[in-house]
Every structure is written in C-alpha cells, then in structure tokens.
Structure 1
Amino acid sequence: MDKLNWAILQELQKNARISFSEVGRKVGLTSPAVAERVRKMEDSGVIESYKVNLAHQKTGYQLRAIITLRAFTGRLKAFLETVKTYKEVVNCYRITGNENIIMEVILKDQVHLEKLIDKLITYGETRTHIVLSDVIKDAPIVSNVE
C-alpha cells in the first residue's frame, strides 16, 4: 500500500461510483492506472465490496438503536449463529469488556424494538441505546496513518 493506493481508497470511500478517470484526476494518475490499482486491491482483498448506504428513515424504518448483549453462560455460540438471521441487525461486533456483543439495529418503531429485545433476552442481558443523530457521518473507514 503506497500513498497513491491510500488516495484512491479515500476517493472510493467518498463515492464508490466515481469513475476511474475522475479518481485519476484527483490523485494524478491515468484512468487505466487507477483501474489496475483498484483491480489489484480487489484481488488482494483490500477492497472487499461496494455498498449502498440507505436513508433508513425514508424507507419506513424510523428507529435506530445500539444494543449491547452480555451473553448467559453457554449461550454465546448459539447467539452468534442466530444473530445472522436477524434482518434488523445491520452491524454486529464481538467485543471485550462486560458485554460480549454490540449491535446496530434499524427498526420500524418501538413495538419492533420490543419484539427484537424479547428475542435477544433469551441469550443474555441487553442494554439498549436509541440513536438520536449522527455526529460523524460517512467518515472514511481507512486512511493512511503513516
């Protein structure tokens, strides 16, 4: 990973649909050179995928929450398999500390949240935090830290 690859990644994180020629103009490379570098980063696994970020509130899902789970003894493994089937869970991380899991969930309303919590409490103790707003939105996931 050199400085040009980092610059390309930063442009793609801002807009994954940007053309290679536009990226090239911004980082000082030709379109074919950018395409080749992107292909190599895809092939090596540096770039895993391209995603669409939804405005969930405009799709009828008005509530976003962060839920932590402290799994009951012997229930973590079962939870790790089951959580993959919960469509409400958009991000789920296994973490250190008092809780085992932290999840970001998108829900229609409080009733939907209650139903999800009812499922989760069979695996452990939960704590729910309602998201009021984004403080940092669409920040680059990676940057050159050198």
Structure 2
Amino acid sequence: MQANSGSGMAVDDECKLKFLDLKAKRNYRFIVFKIEGQKVVVEKLGQPDESYENFTASLPSDECRYAVFDFDFITNENCQKSKIYFIAWSPEVSTVRMKMVYASSKDRFKRELDGIQVELQATDPSEMSLDIIKARAY
C-alpha cells in the first residue's frame, strides 16, 4: 500500500486486485470504492449479471464514492465491445470536506487502476444516466 504524497491517501491493495479481476477476468460488473480513514477501500462488488440500475442504486445519495463500471455494448458495425468507466460520484448534498477529499485524491487513485477508458464526474444521477454512458462509449 502506497501513500499519496499529495493527499496522504493510501490505496488498499484489494482495490487494484479487484479492478484487475474486473478488467481481465470480468468477474465483476462494477466496483464501488470509498475513502475510509486515510485509505481507499472496496465497498461493493457487482456481480457480472448485475445491471447499470443495480450499479447506480448502490451509490449513496448523500456521500461521495469512486466507482468503475464495465459497460458492454454493440457497435454500429455490430461488434460486441466493452469499456471500463471510472465514475467520480460527488452528490451536491455531501459535505464540502468529503467532496474536497474525494476531489483531491481522485487522479492519484485513478492512476492505480490501469485500463480505465472513460471518466465521468457526476453530482446527480442524471449526469451518469445510461444514455450518457452509451453516448460516451462510441
């Protein structure tokens, strides 16, 4: 576990291991991460058959989270593809301090997860609707 010199935030090894499982083995549909004390930890693992709705429902309405979502889609050429999204969830109603901690640690945490293809920032569920996810896939 390494500490971030910028924010003092450490990343639990499990975060990287589970992300690799999602990316390489597709064992999970999504992973929700939270900052606990001075480190980022895995909060929830979404099973491969879970939907985008299951994913959005697992984000708290009043607290920040980081999340990755493995989105499957069919291209215009009829090819099956997937993209890994990194979502920085920062609801308006969460505390200013929490928003600052998540914002200041985001880039460092994201660098630990090698293979993210699309990043989204969302302060409200409408900013990460399935339509937006689909639009960013192509």
Q: TM-score, normalised by structure 2?
A: 0.28
Higher helix share: 1
Q: TM-score, normalised by structure 1?
A: 0.27
Q: Which has the larger Rg?
A: 1
Which of the pair has the greater relative contact order for Cα pairs under 8 Å at 6+ separation? 1
Higher strand share: 2
